[in-house]
Amino acid sequence: MAAKGDHQRLVHVVDACDRIASYVGEGRANLDDAKTSDAVLHCLAVIGEALSALTPEAYASLTSLPSSQPRAMRNVIVHEYWRVDPAAIWTTVSRDLPALREEAARLLAELASQRLAFLDHLRTATDDLGDDDVMKSARH
């Protein structure tokens, strides 16, 4: 089972992908607007940071990603902003982010399913215990 923080980081990834999609719509020309470009770059930095905070197991299940690309892009955006290549940003936004968003949403659904199964298991285990057993267990 993935770490508790993976869920929140994946929510951040899906949210940032959705915001980018709403900012740029269907056209690369929208990135020519300074406010839109700034918003997209911020979201890409959030995505890179969130992905780097995932557990290795969670990150490995996002198969559309090269191992170091999101963190490297985040580092360029944040630390070497003068090297940002608008063509590379558009390629990321138009080609890579839809697949990433789909995989992150799928992984979120899997994590939710695992949590529900675990909670159901706990409920069943607790139901199998008598009230005295539960109270003894709670005291220890």
Q: Sign of the C-alpha dihedral, residues 102, 90, 7, 4?
A: positive
Give a yes or no: residue 126 inside a domain. Answer: no
What is the torsional sign of CA 72, 100, 45, 2?
negative
Q: Decide if 122 is inside a domain.
A: no
Q: In the chain, how many domains are there?
A: 1
Supply the range of the domain harboring residue 83.
Answer: 4-111
Amino acid at 9: R
| pLDDT-derived band at 47, boundaries 50, 70, 90 | very high
pTM exceeds 0.75, yes or no: yes
In a domain, 51, yes or no: yes
Residue 137 lies in a domain: no
Q: What is the pLDDT of residues 51-79, one digit of tens each?
A: 999 999 999 999 888 767 888 899 999 99
